[in-house]
Structure 1
Amino acid sequence: MADSLPQSFQPGTGVAPASLVEVSISCRKLIDADVFSKSDPMVVLFVTDTVSRGWKEFGRTEIIWNNLNPDFVKKFIMQYYFEESQKLKFEV
């Protein structure tokens, strides 16, 4: 029966099902950490590094000046792999 399989098929070479996703970020009721004005928030997105198993910076948003409820313009475009754990960390 094995002889009837096409020669081009290689077990284990299939592509994991994935899709591109767009991540939008906004914050509400941030703590006012500035003395003379409101805070100037930005967000740094980290993803887990498969090699070192540590966190690797994926990207940063712009700074929103004097705002405790920012809606960031920057969007993060990333691969989403179905049925696979993908950990993200957001630091404001």
Structure 2
Amino acid sequence: MSDTLESAAGSLGLLSSSCLTKVELRLTCKGVSDRDALSRPDPCVVLNMQSHGRWMEVDRTEVIRSCVNPTYSKVFTLDFYFEEVQRLRFELFDINNHNGPKEADFLGSLECTLGQVSPAGTGETNY
């Protein structure tokens, strides 16, 4: 488990349960909104998990320059807990400079559970 993910999991109270399996999430976006008239978007996805009503950033993808249909090389590895609802939020940003999502254009988000995007940690799901 990466240090960032382990720290987030500890803060979310996920390390106390027994882990059923590890799940790998690979992301692809289709038709990212091109809001800038002079350039194509430079998209980045931020993954957040919810615990006790609070969202915490787990990790983020790389920025893919000038792309409306990015396929990210970043793989998110998450622990799947059998009897827990693990809420996820994927936020899509157009990164305009090197300051990250704080200085970026928000393009949209998707909320789901880990079980919805990867039932029992197997298979591929497209949204």
TM-score normalised by L of structure 1:
0.76
Runs of 4+ in structure 1 over 2 Å off: none
Greater helix proportion: 2
Report matched runs for 1:1-92 at 5 Å. 16-50=18-52, 53-92=53-92
Amino acid at match of 2:26: S
Amino acid at match of 1:25: L
User: Aligned in 2, Cα 1:38/1:55: closer, same or farther, shift over 3 Å?
Assistant: same
Q: Alignment length, in residue pairs?
A: 76
TM-score normalised by L of structure 2:
0.56
Question: Equivalent pairs: percent with the same residue?
Answer: 38
Is there any run of 5+ residues in structure 1 with no aligned partner, and where?
A: 1-14
Q: Secondary structure at the match of 1:30?
A: coil
Bigger RCO (CA 8 Å, 6+ sep):
1
Q: Which has the larger radius of gyration?
A: 1
Provide the aligned C-alpha RMSD in A: 1.3
Residues of 2 paired with 1:56 and 1:43: CA distance? 14
Greater strand proportion: 2
